[in-house]
Amino acid sequence: MTESVRGRKAEEISGAIRQPKIKLCGLTRSCDIRAANELKPDYIGFVFAPESRRYVPPEKAAELKQMLDPQIKAAGVFVDEDPQVIEDLVRREVIDVVQLHGREDEAYIHSLRERMGSSLIIQAFSISTEQDAKTAEKSSADYILVDSPGGGTGAVFDWKLLRKISRPYFLAGGLTPGKAGDAIHTLRPYGVDVSSGIETDGYKDRDKMAEFVLAVRQANGGAKKHALYSAQDPSD
């Protein structure tokens, strides 16, 4: 293999294995936002489901969004919410991305798109069977998020169930700083989403947030190195 061909092949592989998106979800306090601004994840999440212990009232979320680094996108997490409520939060720029965790169907997603224009939509699916994975893959949302049954339980599900998903997805469910590397190396997800795995006593822990972000970025660096090494001609 010539140097020019080898270099081009390595460049193609390097570009394909891009940095996984990082989403730190369930932020509720100003200190959480300050930590996120330091760590620079791609997304943070505000939970607008009242039944969640991480629920943030819209006005509080608006205050926190004002503190957020503009380069970090804020996702709003909803469960079967009135589309008008979501549209209002997008219009007021409290959130940049919509994340659906209820029983929202394709008609609901279509209605949201008509209201919100180009704002990204992520639809979450609990995965307990291969059929769940097939259903998730058919979603018309911009991205899907695959999670443990029940969602938000902090439990890991069987990653083998994802082997037939060919579209980009966010991986959630039981991720921690210690498990992030395995997730990146095993699944190569488009992004990772963590909440309980970066908490201590029910609150976001700045040290765990930092450990998680570092673990993802270091794991991806290792994946790139492996791919580039594999691109070498064994005869060289």
Which of the residues are catalytic? 25, 147
- Both tokens of 147, joined, read 């999670």
Return d(Cα 70, Cα 83) in angstroms, integer: 25
Q: How many CA atoms lie within 13 A of 194 on its CB side?
A: 30
Q: What is the dihedral of CA 197, 211, 209, 184, to 10 degrees?
A: -60
What does the DSSP assignment read for 171-191?
A: E-SS--HHHHHHHHHHH--SE
Helix segments in 40-129, DSSP class H: 58-67, 83-91, 106-116
For the chain, how many helices (H) and strands (E)? 8, 10
| Crossing angle (nearest 10°) for helices 58-67 and 30-39 | 40
